[in-house]
Amino acid sequence: MLFLIIKRILLGFITLFIVSIITFVGTEVLPGDACTTYLERQAFGEQLEACYRRLGLNVPAYERYISWALNAIQGDFGYSLSGEMPIKDVLGPRIKNSLVLASAAIFIGIPIALILGIITALWRDKLPDVAISTVTIFAMTIPEFISATLLILIIAIWLEWLPGIVIVPTDVSFLELLPNIILPVVAIAMIMTAHMARMVRSSVIQVMASEYVQMAILKGVPYWKMVFKHVLPNALLPAINVVALTIAWLLGGVVVTEVVFNYPGLGRLVIESISNRDLPTVQALAIILASIYVSINLLADLLTLMLNPRLKTLQIRK
């Protein structure tokens, strides 16, 4: 078991290493570099040379990669081009904001998704299922830029209950941020919840049709005991991985929603730094997003492994 965990962590690091190489090479082969972008029309001769020297771009690429990687491991991603401030200072508040948004969506969305999924499955083809399923299918199919725009129109403009877009400095305190995030959270949670509820529904239905559930009924196990002991543990196991992917997706920045609401999260930073050709920031973002995906998936796999007795013995036997 321990061996397995170590192996998976090592594999995670290898993945990150490969991602870092790809992003580094990618930014390297793009025409132009930080200095040409920064100096714009003055990018020639003495000034360009000076810029290269200042940013350390005059040394071979592999040396730059090594020094960049060594610093990155310590959390230092170098300087952002726009504003010339350390990237970690740019990233810090953005990560915090994305975390706030994601956790709000997770804490509201996941329990609702589970409850809706279970209700629709247990009352399959009856009124609660038909009603909830219709709504979830709508929520799933309407793209977020439309639902977000509609939310702004109705809640912020017509009813004037909440601010429509987030106009706050990037580094505001949590309490100040709170009223601003309600609409983005609703917009994100709608799609996410709908997806997860559908998945939970089909998983529960599948388990309900299994022979062991029929056996439990024939054994005289009362309905709710059967649901909690025999159905849910087996039905929710496969949901763990889906939840993990959703969380990673949320943390990675829900680009469209952040742009629509002007929310200062990671997603918008990605868009901004790409359009500004702020390559060091893009690199840093790529590596951070990759780490988020890798670590959350790793956690999910280990959790599944621990909760599923079948997998556990299989692994131990090996």
Partner 1 sequence: MTDIIQKVKNLSIGFRSKKGEEILILKNITTNIKKGETVGIVGESGSGKSTLALAMMGYVKHGLYTVGGECEFNSSNLLKMKSKELEKIRGRKIAMIPQNAGQALTPNLKIGYQIDEALQLHSDLNEKEREKKISELLNKVRLPSPETIALRYPHELSGGQQQRVAVAMALAGTPDLLLLDEPTTGLDVTTQAHVLELLNFIAKDTGTSMVYVSHDLGAIAQVSDRIIVMYSGEIVLEGPSRDILKRPIHPYTHGLLKSIPKLSLAGLPESMPGSQPQPGTIQSGCSFFDRCNFSDENCKNNSPKLEFLEDLNTSVRCFNHEKLVKESRVSQTVNKIKNKSQDKEILNLSEVSISYAKQKLLDQIFNRISDNNPTVKDININIKKGETIALVGESGSGKSTILKSIAGLLRTKDGLIRFDENRNLSSDLKERDPNDLRIIQLIFQNPDESLNPNHTVEEIIAQPLKLYFGLKGEELKKNIIDLLQKVRLGEFYTSRYPRQLSGGEKQRVAVARAFAAKPDIILCDEVTSALDVSVQAAVLNLLQQLKEDFGTTYIFVSHDLAVVRSISDRVAVLYQGRLCEVGPSNDVYKFPSHPYTEVLLGAVLEPDPDIKPKLVAEDIVEERPPEKGCSFQGRCSRIVGDICKKEVPPWQLTDSGNAIRCHIPIKELQKEQF
Binding site residues, partner 1, CB under 8 A: 209-223, 229-230, 233-234, 237, 307-310, 313
Q: What is the Cα–Cα distance from 250 to 298, expressed in whole angstroms?
A: 17
Q: What is the Cα–Cα distance from 118 to 199, expressed in whole angstroms?
A: 10
Two tokens, residue 146: 């439309």
How far is the first Cα of the chain from the last one, in angstroms, to the nearest whole number? 10
Q: At closest approach, how far in Å is the CB of 227 from partner 1? A: 12
Q: At closest approach, how far in Å is the CB of 210 from partner 1? A: 7
Task: Give residue for tokens 């609660």.
Answer: 128
Closer of 15 and 234 to partner 1 (Cβ): 234
Closer of 142 and 232 to partner 1 (Cβ): 232
Closer of 37 and 210 to partner 1 (Cβ): 210
Closer of 37 and 308 to partner 1 (Cβ): 308
Q: At closest approach, how far in Å is the CB of 10 from partner 1? A: 15
Q: At closest approach, how far in Å is the CB of 11 from partner 1? A: 16
Q: At closest approach, how far in Å is the CB of 30 from partner 1? A: 38
Closer of 13 and 212 to partner 1 (Cβ): 212
Closer of 234 and 241 to partner 1 (Cβ): 234
Q: At closest approach, how far in Å is the CB of 308 from partner 1? A: 7
Closer of 69 and 221 to partner 1 (Cβ): 221
> Hey, CA dihedral for 205, 211, 212, 213, is it positive or negative?
positive
Closer of 112 and 237 to partner 1 (Cβ): 237
CB 185 within 8 A of CB 105: yes
Q: At closest approach, how far in Å is the CB of 216 from partner 1? A: 7
Q: At closest approach, how far in Å is the CB of 215 from partner 1? A: 4
Instruction: Give how far the C-alpha of residue 85 lies from the chain's centroid of Cα atoms, to the nearest Å.
Output: 26
| Alpha-carbon distances of 35 from 9, 43, 79, 91, rounded to whole Å | 37, 7, 13, 22
Q: What is the Cα–Cα distance from 126 to 129, expressed in whole angstroms?
A: 6
Q: At closest approach, how far in Å is the CB of 199 from partner 1? A: 19
Closer of 58 and 214 to partner 1 (Cβ): 214
